[in-house]
Structure 1
Amino acid sequence: MEAMREIELRGHIIDSFLLPKVFDKVMDMNGEFEIIEFEIGKHKTDTSYARLMIRGKDQEHLDDIIGELHRLGAYVPEAEDAVVAEAPKDKVVPKGFYSTTNHPTFVKVDGEWLRVKNQKMDSLIVLRNGSAACKTIGHVKKGDRVVIGNSGIRVVPPERPRGHTIFDFMGSQVSSERPSQSLIREIAEEIFEVHESGGKIVVVGGPAIVHTGGQQALAELVRKGYVDALLSGNALAVHDVEYNLYGTSLGMDLKTAELAPEGHKHHLYAISEITRAGSLKEAVKQGVLTGGIMYECIVNNVPYVLAGSIRDDGPLPDVITDTMKAQDLMREQVKNADIVLMMATMLHSIATGNCLSSSVRTICVDINPSTVTKLMDRGTAQAIGIVTDVGTFLPWLAEELDNLEKSRKKQMPALRVKSKKR
C-alpha cells in the first residue's frame, strides 16, 4: 500500500542545490514527490522554504527515502522528541540507531532542540545529563542512551556563502587547471585572519613535505604560530629528523638531488638516534635535534599526534601504535579547529576528514587528484583541492603570509595616528 509523508526544507535551498538534490534522491529511489508550498527568497540574503509530499510504494520504502532526505537536511514538520534506546553492551548499538553525518545536527529532547556536540560522520548520538554528543561505536558503553530512527533530528547542511570566499561550498572541486597563485594568496589571507583572531589552525602532513623540499617552509609556519596542532605519521617525523641530521630524505641529498653514499641507511640511523635519546623531546633537550618541523613543534609547544601504521620502520618512540588511541588523540586536536590544512597524505587526510564537522574550512593539497577526490567522496564536501607539488605550495604559502605580515605592520603606524587624532 502506498505511503506518504510531508517534509520541509528551509534556508538557501536553491543556490546551494539542496532542492535539486532532494528531487534527484527521491527519483533515484523510485519514489515520487509533490511540491505543496514553495516560497523563494527575493534577495541573496533571503532564505527560501519548500514543503513537499513524498510518496513511497509502502511504509518501509517511504522510511528509506525519508531517511536519505533527512541526511540531506530535510525534516518532517511535526517534529517529535527523539526516540532513545539503551545500548545492551559495550560497543553494541541498539538496532535502528541513527548514524550521523558531518553536518551540524540538532536533536529534540523534552520539547527543546539541543545542538549535538563533537559533530562528525559515522557516529551515534548519545544523550546524557541534558546534552547530546556524537560517540563512535568503540566508545559506546552499556546503558548509554542512543538516539534511534529519524524523529526529532534536524540536520543543517552547509549553504553557499553570501559573499566571495574560496570555501564556497558548491565550488569545491579538484583541478590542476585552477589558478594556483591566486588560490594560494586567498588561502594565506584566510589563514592569516584566523591566526590574527586567535583561531585554531591544524596541519595534517605526509613525508613528501620533506622529500619535495617543503620542510623549512612548514617549520617556519610552526615557528611563526600558524600551526596550532600537527597530525601525521612516523614517516614525516623520521625524514624530518633524517634531513636535520644528515641533509638527506630517503637517502637523497635534497641540495644536489643525488643519492648520498650509504644514504639508504639514514632513516634507520635517524630512528636509532631519537630512540637512543628517548624521544623527540629528549633529543631536542640533549641537542641531538636542532632544527626542522618536529624541532619547531617542540620548542614552540605545538602539540602533535604521530599515528602509526603497519608499514612503519622503527617506529620513533613518539609514534602511537594503538590505532584507537591515535584516533582519540586526533579527534581531540581537531576540536574547535577553524582551518585544517591537509598536505601530501591520503591516509591521514581521509582519517582526519572523518573527524571533522562540515563547518570546518578544509584545504587539501596533493600532487595526486584522487587524494582530494577520495576525501570528498567520503563526505568531506567542504574541502577545496589544489593539485600541485607540496614542495612548491608551502614556500609560496609562507611567502604570501610573510607579505601579509609586512603589509599589516605598515598599516599599524597609520592606524595609531588615526587613533590619536580621535
Structure 2
Amino acid sequence: MQISREIELEGHIIDSGIMTLVFDRIMDMGGNFEILTFDVGKKKTDASYARLKVSAADETQLEAILSELYRLGAHLPVVADARLVPAEGDRIVPKDFYSTTNHRTYVKYEGEWLSVEDIEMDCLIVVDPVAQRACCTPLSKLTKGSLVVVGEDGVKVDYPERPREKSRFEFMQGTVSPERPSETLIEKIATEIVEVKRSGGKIVLVGGPAIIHTGGGPALAKLVHDGYIDALFAGNALATHDIESNLFGTSLGMDIKTAKLVTGGHKHHIYAISEVMRAGSIKNAVEQGIVTGGVMYECVRHNVPFVLAGSIRDDGPLPDVITDVMEAQDAMRKHLKGAKMVLMVATLLHSVAVGNCLPSSVKTLCVDINPASLTKLMDRGTSQAIGIVSDAGTFFPMLAKKLDELSEKING
C-alpha cells in the first residue's frame, strides 16, 4: 500500500517546463502521481494552477520525492510556519537543516512569508525574530544560538520561469555547441550589456589568465575604460600576466604580438610581481608610473574594484592577492550585491566559485574554449548560465567592436 500527499504548483508552470520537470522527478524517483486539479491559463500572461497527489512506497521515499519537488516550486496546500532550531555552536548545523538553492526563496514565520535575503546555493537560512528577517547564511558565518530553519515545511521556492517576453538569449539556452554564429551571439551580448548599463545595472567580470595569453587584454582594458565593467574577479595569474604584458610585452614569456618565445621571458612574470612588491600594491605601481596600461591599470584609474583570490600554485603572489579563501569569498559576495549580469571568461574554477554565490536571477554568461567547462558550470548548479564556445582572444576584441558600434548608433 502506498502513502501519498498533495502538493500545489502555480504560475507559468507549463511554458516554463516546470510541470514536465515535476512529472519527470516523481517518476525517476520511483513515485506515482495523480492530477487532481489543473487550471490552465488561457493567455500567455495568465498563470496556471495544478494540484497533484504524489504517492510512494513508504514515508522515506515520499519525503525524498517531495524534497525535490519543493525545490521546483511545489508546496503543500496548507503551509505551517518554518521550524527553527538554535545552532549549538559556531559553524555547527542542526540536524536536518534546510540547504538552500540559488532560487528566490521565502520562509513562513508567525504566519507571514519572509523573503530570504542574499540567496545563494548550499547555505542555511537564519531567521532573526526581532528584525523579522530571514537571511541566507554560509556555514562559515553561522554563530552559536542563531535560529536555523530545519526541514522543508514553511519554505517556498520560486523556480525561475520563462520570461513573458522573448529573451535575447533564449535561443542559446539548453545546449552548449561550438557550431553557433559567434559574431551574432556576441552582438546580442553587447546589446544586453548596453541595456543593463543604461538601466543602472551592475556588470561583474570573472576572468582567467588566458584572456592575456590569447591577446584579449587590450580589448578587456578598453571595456573597463569605457565603463562596461563594474568589478573584476580573478586570480594572481591574470593580474600578473597583465602587468607583465605592460612591462615586457610578453605573457608567460611569449611575445603577445608575434607569438614567439622571448629569451629569458620565463622570468618576466617574476620581475613583474617583484616590481609591484617594490611599489607596495598595484595601485601604487600605477600611481608611480611603473604600470602604464592594461586591465589592472584601467581598474585603478577608473576606480573599478577587483578581487584577486589566490591559490596554492601562485607565484609571489602580488601584494593585492587575498590568500585566505574565506576572506576572498566575503570580498566577492560584497561586490556581487546588486549585480545584474556576470561575464565568466576562461576560468572554470573561479566561475564555479562565483556561480555558487549567485542568485539564479542574475544573467550569467560563460565563455570558454572548452565546451566541457561550460557544461561543468551548469552541472554544478549555475543553471541560469548560457555558454559560448570561444577563446578569449577572439571574444573580447569582437565584443569591444560591437559595443563601439552600438555606442556610435546610440549617440548618433
Tell me whether the two structures share a fold, i.e. TM-score over 0.5.
yes
Distance in 2, Cα, partners of 1:96 & 1:167: 38
What secondary structure, in the 3-state scheme, does the structure 1 residue paired with 2:166 have? coil
The aligned counterpart of 2:207 is 205
The aligned counterpart of 1:217 is 219
Shift of 1:171: 2.3
Q: Deviations over 1:299-336 (max 9, x none)?
A: 11000000000110110000000011001111111111
The aligned counterpart of 2:122 is 122
Shift of 1:168: 3.1
The aligned counterpart of 2:8 is 8
What secondary structure, in the 3-state scheme, does the structure 1 residue paired with 2:49 have? strand
The aligned counterpart of 1:415 is none
Q: Deviations over 1:355-390 (max 9, x none)?
A: 000000000000011111011001111111000111
Equivalent residue for 2:229, pick from 208, 227, 230? 227
- Kindly indicate whether the alpha-carbon contact (under 8 Å) linking 1:230 and 1:302 is maintained by their aligned counterparts in 2: yes
What secondary structure, in the 3-state scheme, does the structure 1 residue paired with 2:242 have? helix
The aligned counterpart of 1:413 is none
The aligned counterpart of 2:65 is 65
- Kindly indicate whether the alpha-carbon contact (under 8 Å) linking 1:89 and 1:141 is maintained by their aligned counterparts in 2: yes
Q: What amino acid does structure 2 have at the position aligned with 1:368? A: N
- Kindly indicate whether the alpha-carbon contact (under 8 Å) linking 1:167 and 1:382 is maintained by their aligned counterparts in 2: no
- Kindly indicate whether the alpha-carbon contact (under 8 Å) linking 2:365 and 2:387 is maintained by their aligned counterparts in 1: yes
| Mapping 1:300-315, distance limit 5 Å | 300-315=302-317
Shift of 1:170: 8.9
What secondary structure, in the 3-state scheme, does the structure 1 residue paired with 2:114 have? strand
2:347 equivalent to 1:354: no
Shift of 1:199: 0.8
- Kindly indicate whether the alpha-carbon contact (under 8 Å) linking 2:80 and 2:108 is maintained by their aligned counterparts in 1: yes
- Kindly indicate whether the alpha-carbon contact (under 8 Å) linking 1:159 and 1:169 is maintained by their aligned counterparts in 2: no
- Kindly indicate whether the alpha-carbon contact (under 8 Å) linking 2:172 and 2:386 is maintained by their aligned counterparts in 1: no
Taking structure 1 as the reference length, the TM-score comes to: 0.95
Q: What amino acid does structure 2 have at the position aligned with 1:265? A: K
The aligned counterpart of 1:263 is 265
Distance in 1, Cα, partners of 2:78 & 2:67: 15
The aligned counterpart of 1:331 is 333
What secondary structure, in the 3-state scheme, does the structure 1 residue paired with 2:365 have? strand
Shift of 1:166: 3.3
Consecutive unaligned residues of structure 1, counting only runs of 5 or more, are 411-422
Q: Deviations over 1:376-411 (max 9, x none)?
A: 00111111100011111101111111111111111x
Taking structure 2 as the reference length, the TM-score comes to: 0.98
The aligned counterpart of 1:278 is 280
Q: What amino acid does structure 2 have at the position aligned with 1:29? A: M
- Kindly indicate whether the alpha-carbon contact (under 8 Å) linking 2:172 and 2:387 is maintained by their aligned counterparts in 1: no
| Mapping 1:232-251, distance limit 5 Å | 232-251=234-253
Shift of 1:169: 9.4
Distance in 2, Cα, partners of 1:306 & 1:392: 24
Distance in 1, Cα, partners of 2:174 & 2:342: 15
What secondary structure, in the 3-state scheme, does the structure 2 residue paired with 1:365 have? strand
Q: CA 1:53/1:169 → structure 2, altered by over 3 Å: closer, same or farther?
A: farther
Distance in 1, Cα, partners of 2:170 & 2:394: 24
What secondary structure, in the 3-state scheme, does the structure 2 residue paired with 1:78 have? coil
Distance in 1, Cα, partners of 2:105 & 2:399: 34
Q: Deviations over 1:225-263 (max 9, x none)?
A: 100000000000000000000000000001111111100
Which of 220-229 and 39-48 deviates more? 39-48
What secondary structure, in the 3-state scheme, does the structure 1 residue paired with 2:387 have? strand
Equivalent residue for 1:136, pick from 128, 135, 138? 138
What secondary structure, in the 3-state scheme, does the structure 2 residue paired with 1:241 have? helix
Q: What amino acid does structure 2 have at the position aligned with 1:119? A: I
Q: What amino acid does structure 2 have at the position aligned with 1:78? A: V
Shift of 1:164: 2.0
Distance in 2, Cα, partners of 1:36 & 1:169: 34
Matched-pair identity in %: 61
Distance in 1, Cα, partners of 2:2 & 2:84: 28
Query: RMSD over aligned Cα, in angstroms?
Result: 1.1
Distance in 1, Cα, partners of 2:201 & 2:173: 24
Distance in 2, Cα, partners of 1:12 & 1:3: 29
